[in-house]
Chains A and B, each alone.
Chain A
Amino acid sequence: MARLSDYIIPAVMGGILFYGLFRRVDVFGSFLDGAKEGLMTSMRIMPALVALMTAVGMFKASGALDILTWVLSPVASLLQLPREVLPLAILRPISGSGAMAIFQDILQSYGPDTTIGRVASVMQGSTETTFYTIAVYYGATQVQKTRHTLPSALTGDLVGFVMSALMVRLIFS
């Protein structure tokens, strides 16, 4: 039986193409222009991903990741998070490629359809690279004092992490 979530992508694709045809847009040409941009984005993240996946891989192989996870396990149990996802929670607000490298490692080590894999997926899908966003957006203005921007944004990240674990427990168990 098809899941409800199986309908989302085909429905969005169909809807967008239908509306494009209806409005007489050059659907294929626009698609190719956009796809080219997508390809460039992928290539742009490649060097950072090489750097950070290598770092994460070495970090894990040396046993450092196990030590970090063990040190952080009291924080994890306080937040009701599986402790294996804490490295992701730490890196997620700081670096998009770093988070992607850790996320990939979690998926490979624990599998995507386990509790750990799912919590990591929800965290990855529902949070942003907070520090980067703040830097880029205020960088375009003359603002020097960002006032309560960072504390508010980090509260949101924390709520996101705690809710990820909570929602996965509620929905998948």
Chain B
Amino acid sequence: MMTWIFSGMILLSVVLGIANGRIGEVSAAALSESGKAITLVIGLAGVMCLWSGLMNVAEKSGLTQKFSRFFSPVLRLLFRGLDPDSRAAKAISMNVAANLLGLGNAATPLGIAAMRELELLNPTPSVASNYMITFVVLNTASLQLIPTTTAALRLQAGAAAPFDILPAVWVTSICSVISVLVMAKLLSHTTRNGLPELARPRRGGAHG
């Protein structure tokens, strides 16, 4: 998909640039933008280092785990029937905690671990279970409390208060999280896979 977007944009730019007589600008943009990309990443690297460093301290000190226990009642409601002490439930709450804290690097492996655990509870492994869908859409709707990268880009562009967008980001995130959960719930009846989810793992081996 990205191959098509990338080459499509450039080919269209070349054709349109010639047609509009703006091929000189297109040529200049190609050279200057590639350089700007490097400057941008270098500028962002500082904030990314700072935040990843802090979040590693939070993880090592057990703060992330403490944080994940804080909202386990909400998760219990969303994943009704899932044993709160199961490995699946623990991986889910750690993933949500990592997402909220903006720990992208930690959230993805935790999310994959959660998916593998949910798979053990799925009676039909080739068809996504309701738990899986709820979990994936929770991740596609952003849960981040402090969008550091966005704020860093705003700061670089000269924003007076790069974080002044936070309240708007929070309300927007909450709305999109609610809407994905509602849609996942509503549509689950139209694409029912017929089988109830298991309370215990289907295969015991992976737990050893």
On A, residues with C-beta under 8 Å from B are 3, 5-6, 8-9, 12-13, 16-17, 19-20, 22-23, 25-27, 30-39, 41-43, 45-46, 49-64, 67, 91, 93-95, 98, 100-101, 103-104, 107-108, 111-113, 117-118, 121-128, 130-131, 133-134, 136-138, 140-149, 151-153, 155-157, 159-160, 163-164, 167-168, 170-172
Do A125 and B169 touch across chains, with their CB atoms under 8 A apart?
A: yes
- In the assembled complex, which residues on chain A have CB atoms less than 8 Å from the CB atom of B26? 58, 61-62
Do B63 and A156 touch across chains, with their CB atoms under 8 A apart?
A: no
On B, residues with C-beta under 8 Å from A are 1-2, 5-6, 9-10, 12-14, 16-17, 20, 22-23, 25-26, 28-30, 32-34, 36-38, 40-42, 44-45, 48-63, 104-105, 108, 111-112, 115-116, 118-119, 122, 125-128, 132-133, 135-137, 139-142, 144, 146-147, 149-151, 153-154, 156-169, 171-173, 175-177, 179-180, 183-184, 187-188, 190-191, 193
Do B32 and A151 touch across chains, with their CB atoms under 8 A apart?
A: no
- Determine how close the nearest CB of chain A comes to the CB of B9; give it in whole angstroms: 4
Do A141 and B132 touch across chains, with their CB atoms under 8 A apart?
A: yes
In the assembled complex, the Cα of A132 lies from the Cα of B146 at a distance in Å of: 21
Main secondary structure of the interface of B (DSSP, over half): helix
Do B187 and A61 touch across chains, with their CB atoms under 8 A apart?
A: no
Do B173 and A126 touch across chains, with their CB atoms under 8 A apart?
A: yes
Q: 9 tightest CB-CB pairs across the interface, nearest first?
A: A34-B56, A38-B52, A57-B33, A125-B147, A156-B180, A148-B187, A35-B53, A112-B159, A107-B157
- In the assembled complex, which residues on chain A have CB atoms less than 8 Å from the CB atom of B144? 125-126
Among B59, B122, B127, B150, which residue has its beta carbon within 8 angstroms of that of A121?
B150
In the assembled complex, the Cα of A79 lies from the Cα of B60 at a distance in Å of: 44
Do B165 and A122 touch across chains, with their CB atoms under 8 A apart?
A: yes
Do B52 and A128 touch across chains, with their CB atoms under 8 A apart?
A: no
Q: What would 22 A/B residue contacts be, using CB atoms closer than 8 Å?
A: A3-B163, A5-B164, A5-B166, A13-B54, A27-B57, A41-B105, A43-B41, A46-B41, A55-B13, A58-B17, A60-B29, A62-B22, A108-B157, A122-B165, A122-B172, A124-B147, A125-B144, A136-B112, A137-B115, A147-B187, A149-B133, A153-B140
Among A13, A41, A57, A152, which residue has its beta carbon within 8 angstroms of that of B48?
A41
